[in-house]
Chains A and B, each alone.
Chain A
Amino acid sequence: MDRKLIFLLAFTGGFVIMSIELLGGRILAPWFGSSVYVWGSIITVFMVALSLGYLIGGRLSLRNPSIKRFGALFIGGALLLGPLYGFGDSLMEAVFARVEDPRYGSLLASMALFFLPTVMLGMISPYSVRLLVQAKDESGQVAGLLYFVSTFGSALGTLGTSFYFILWFEVDTILLLLSGALLACGALALLAPHQEA
């Protein structure tokens, strides 16, 4: 039960990350255009944030790893997405007013908007590995399976968002659904029967 839950959560984490990344282009376009460097900024910020998330998540898994703390990552991620709805536009306006060059403007804006939630979501993968691995000799296989599940989630998040969600919903609605999914994941983990990892 616990293992399935962890895989489900890792899948959702991967899904949400790429869905947000794809929406990032849409969120920045009104202020910084859709030039190739806008995508460059977004991808850079996501990569840097994820790499830091992996680092911190791995570190975090050393101390009292538990499914509850794991759930807290999702809730944290959902909360950190919050500013995107409320302050997104005023923040981009402020950056736009101060930074003339749209390359650095878009880099700064994506940093401000996406960095923290993505660091948080990046912590999910290494933490999942810690919760799943029981013996040293299976660690590679578990990590492989985990990457498979979360990256497959990312693939579906990308596809679903670019093919369908943007056709059905407004950007804010999609963000709200993604935050909802993260909160649901967090709740599932917090409510899961306690088990020492």
Chain B
Amino acid sequence: MLRALALLLLVLTPTLRAEIIHEERSLYRNILVRDLGSERCLLFTVRRSNRNQSCLDLDDPDRLIFPYARMMLSGLLVAPEPKRILMVGLGGGTLPKVFSALTPEAQQDLVEIDEAVVTVAKRYFDFTPSAKMAVHVQDARVFLKRAAARGLTWDYIMLDAFTGDYIPEHLMTREFLEEVSAALTDDGVLVANTFASSALYDAETATYAAVFPALAEVRLDETLNRILVAQKRPFPSAEDRQAAAEALRRPLRRFASDPLPLARSFNVAPRFAEDTRLLTDQYAPVNLLQQQ
């Protein structure tokens, strides 16, 4: 009888229980850290999307859980050896760790508007800025304008500031992308985590295409995210990209990531409606468009 009861209890108890281990309301958003089995995730909202921003496998900290994190490496197919990396939007600090391993000599500038995110990344996501990293708690647009005034440039720029409930509209305009382009070296690459659906899709693609001569889209079947990859000069050939992906297989194995699908889905002619109105500093109803 007792054994039967114990068995019943065992069956009824879910093996994986989600547990909120940290919760705070920062100046910009709700921040939640949730453990589910060995996966620890950073969430920026509880109510609407419940979308994870960044996840860490506590048993295998190197594993890139999210396809989008892997996809942010797509720029390596066209600019394989970055020396100066700029990342906008820190999340759990996953990507800086990957780049530290792939390109240990590279200088990394990490820009995050929310001090609380930096603290949470350090405390819960095993993010320890190395000597090669500089964390800047600042609005990215202001950071880039100041950097431009000092003549600073980067050869690998990542924009990952668009996944919360509120999208920073001034980071999606043509003028902003022109500032990014000015901060990009001639052979450098811009990789942006962007929107795959809604009216924003066309507007965003069209705006990137208006600023960058080379624009590609990377999508994987397993996720709704899409990544835009942009350069100031024509992309290397498909063969070169394939070769770059092959060369990345070994170093990326540790992160449980296969770069070959990235090369396969590297679409150099992303489509968008021709008559799309570009996003500018004068016209950027980004959050309204996202809901259409």
Q: B109: CB under 8 A from chain A? A: no
Q: Report the separation of the CA atoms of residues A169 and B168 in the bound assembly, to the nearest whole angstrom.
A: 19
Q: Which of B146, B173, B282 has the most CB of A within 10 A?
A: B282
A102 in the interface (beta carbon within 8 A): yes
Indicate if the CB atoms of A33 and B113 lie closer than 8 Å.
yes
- Using A26-B284, A166-B285, A170-B280 as known contacts, say yes or no to A34 and B168 having CB atoms under 8 A apart: yes
Instruction: List A contacts of B175 (CB < 8 A).
Output: 30
CB < 8 Å neighbour of A96 from B145, B176, B285: B145
Min CB gap A45→B, angstroms: 19
B57 CB–A CB distance under 8 Å: no
Cα A80 to Cα B149 with chains together (Å): 31
Interface residues of B in 160-201 (CB under 8 A from A): 168-170, 173, 175-176
Please determine whether A166 and B141 come into contact, CB atoms closer than 8 angstroms: no
Chain B min CB distance to A156 (Å):
18
User: When the two chains form their complex, are residues A170 and B142 in contact, meaning their CB atoms are under 8 A apart?
Assistant: no
Q: Could you tell me if A33 and B170 are in contact, using CB atoms closer than 8 angstroms?
A: yes
**Separation of A100 and B282 alpha carbons in the complex (Å):** 24
Given contacts A97-B149, A167-B285, contact A30 B176 (CB under 8 A): yes
Q: Which residue of the partner chain, among B28, B168, B169, B281, contacts A36 with CB atoms under 8 Å?
A: B28
Q: How large is the interface on A (under 10, 10 to 19, 20 to 34, 35 or more residues)?
A: 20 to 34
A29 proximal to B (CB < 8 A): yes
Q: Specify the chain A residue showing the minimal Cβ separation from B282.
A: A170
Shortest beta-carbon distance, B193 to chain A, in Å? 19
> Does A172 have its Cβ within 8 Å of any Cβ on chain B?
yes
Interface check B272, CB cutoff 8 A: no
A36–B284 alpha-carbon span in the complex (Å)? 19
**Could you say which residues of chain B place their CB within 8 Å of the CB of A84?**
none
Distance of B142 from chain A, by nearest CB (Å): 5
Complex: how many Å from CA A32 to CA B113? 12
| Complexed CA–CA distance, A102 and B136 (Å) | 14
Is A44 an interface residue, CB under 8 A from the partner? no
List the B side residues contacting A163 at CB < 8 Å: 288
Known pairs A102-B142, A171-B282; A29 contacts B169 (CB<8 A): yes
Q: How far is the CB of A38 from chain B (nearest CB, A)?
A: 8
6 smallest beta-carbon distances between A and B, as pairs: A33-B139, A29-B170, A170-B282, A167-B285, A33-B142, A166-B285
Please give the residue numbers on chain B whose beta carbons come within 8 Å of chain A beta carbons, in ascending order: 27-28, 113, 138-142, 145-146, 149, 168-170, 173, 175-176, 280-285, 288-289
